Structure 1
Amino acid sequence: MTSRHIEGISIECVTGDIVDQPDMDAIVNAANAQLAPGGGVAGAIHRAAGPELARECAPLAPIRPGDAVITRGHDLPNAHVIHCLGPVYGVDEPADELLAACYRNALARAEETGLESVAFPSISTGAFGYPVEAAAGIAVGTVVDAAATLDTVRRVRFVLHSESDLGIYVRALEQWAFT
């Protein structure tokens, strides 16, 4: 695990499974517009949370790229799931602004709920085709920019699927000057 501190916030990068983060108040779902079970991160979260998650999500859908909504965690070890719809790379434009909005809006939902910790996957880098290096820079940069404005959130974790992605996120994190 790599960790840096800025403005009283711990920002961590780890490899692992997003549904196995029991020490976090919320995990973030790289959702589809309908907030339905699917493949990738969304499928894994819905399988782990159980069918009640889909029932709670249904009336909140559809969401647009950049949007974020929050639900309970149901059978997950986390109290909440924050669902974000990332942009499809090359389709949803401006992709960089929409991806940054995912992270900003997820942090806003966490703050509104009084959460202290949030774990993010690498949003939009799977089936949505966003290049990991570009996505990492946007993700880390957005969290760093938001750090000074956060009142309740004290810990943000990026949970990466591979050692390769971890290295990319760690390099993005190390580009920032932390105090």
Structure 2
Amino acid sequence: MSSINYHSGDITKLKVDAIVNAANSSLLGGGGVDGAIHRAAGPGLLEECRTLNGCRTGEAKITGGYNLPVAHVIHTVGPIYSGKTSDAEDLHNCYWNSLDVAKTNNLHSIAFPGISTGVYGYPKKDAAKIALTTVKQWLEKNSDYDMAITIVTFSEEDYLIYQKLAADVSKE
């Protein structure tokens, strides 16, 4: 049975089939969630990422999990916020394509951080609404596939944003 769950804490500690990395286009590590995932996974992740030739905004690519408690990391590149309509489309694609990659690889549990809400500057409430709406739509379209989705927040403030929006999105 599919579900959407919420967790406040460190995404690198979760035991799910895959965690999503809010990566930069090089896939070679960076700050925030990306840096934390690369540090926790160890050098094998960087070595595998070098073979992927980067990733475009909105796309998703999969690697092994290495020293993480997950089998896989799904890397997606969120938009750098500019206020254009394409930002929302790109962010939607990050979530959708990550879920498609998980399904293609027969994975049934996935954890997402807040994509593009750090140094990429996407307003947290807007990004959370896109995330929740997208995962809900994906679950509806793929109702024959069991997927447990965990939205991971790093701060209590972010957790409360998702909790408030979750009730609104479920009514839509």
> TM-score scaled to structure 1, two decimals?
0.91
List, as ranges, runs of 4+ consecutive aligned residues in structure 1 with deviation greater than 6 Å: none
Does residue 1:159 correspond to 2:152, yes or no?
yes
Give me the CA root mean square deviation: 1.4
**Aligned residues of 2:129 and 2:169 also touching (Cα < 8 A):** no
Which of 21, 38, 63 matches 2:30? 38
Instruction: Describe the shift of the 1:33–1:91 C-alpha distance in structure 2 as closer, same or farther (beyond 3 A).
Output: farther
Alignment-derived partner of residue 125 in structure 2? 133
Please list, as runs of the form range in 1=range in 2, the aligned pairs for 1:15-94 lying within 5 A after superposition.
15-22=8-15, 24-90=16-82, 94=86
What do the CA deviations read for 1:56-77 (whole angstroms, capped 9, x no partner)?
A: 0112132111010001101100
Across the two proteins, how many residue pairs are aligned to each other? Answer: 170
Q: CA deviation at 1:153?
A: 4.2
Q: Which amino acid aligns with 1:32?
A: N
Alignment-derived partner of residue 3 in structure 1? none
Q: Which amino acid aligns with 2:8?
A: T
What do the CA deviations read for 1:37-56 (whole angstroms, capped 9, x no partner)?
A: 21111100000000010110
Instruction: Describe the shift of the 1:38–1:92 C-alpha distance in structure 2 as closer, same or farther (beyond 3 A).
Output: farther
What do the CA deviations read for 1:120-151 (whole angstroms, capped 9, x no partner)?
A: 00000000000000000000000000102334
Instruction: Describe the shift of the 1:53–1:123 C-alpha distance in structure 2 as closer, same or farther (beyond 3 A).
Output: same
> TM-score scaled to structure 2, two decimals?
0.94
Cα distance in 1, alignment partners of residues 140 and 154 from structure 2 = 28
Q: CA deviation at 1:177?
A: 3.1
Instruction: Describe the shift of the 1:91–1:36 C-alpha distance in structure 2 as closer, same or farther (beyond 3 A).
Output: farther
Identity percentage over the alignment? 46
Structure 2: gaps spanning 5 or more residues: none
**Aligned residues of 2:2 and 2:145 also touching (Cα < 8 A):** no
